[in-house]
Amino acid sequence: MVQELECPICNADVPLSGDEKVGEEVFCAFCRAPLTVQHGKEDDELMLEDE
């Protein structure tokens, strides 16, 4: 399942394949910023955090 999260730097949508785990590094396709997958406010929710 593809999920999109928002880049905290440029606000672009960052598509995720769905198999990413908390703590993994992904890159924004627009600004190329390295981002870390983190837990969101809900346990089953993910968010991106800049390093």
Span 28-49, pLDDT tens digits: 999 999 999 988 776 667 888 8
Q: Where are the domains of the chain?
A: 3-50
pLDDT digits (tens, 9 = 90+) for 10-21: 999 999 888 888
Contact 23, 7 (CB under 8 A): no
- Report the SS3 class of residue 32: coil
Query: Rounded to 5 degrees, what are φ and ψ at 5?
Result: -120, 160
Predicted model pTM: 0.78
Q: What is the pLDDT of residue 11?
A: 95
Contact residues for 40 (Cβ-Cβ < 8 A; gap 6+): 46, 47
The CATH label, of 3.40.50, 1.10.3470, 2.20.28, 2.130.10, for the domain at 3-50 is: 2.20.28
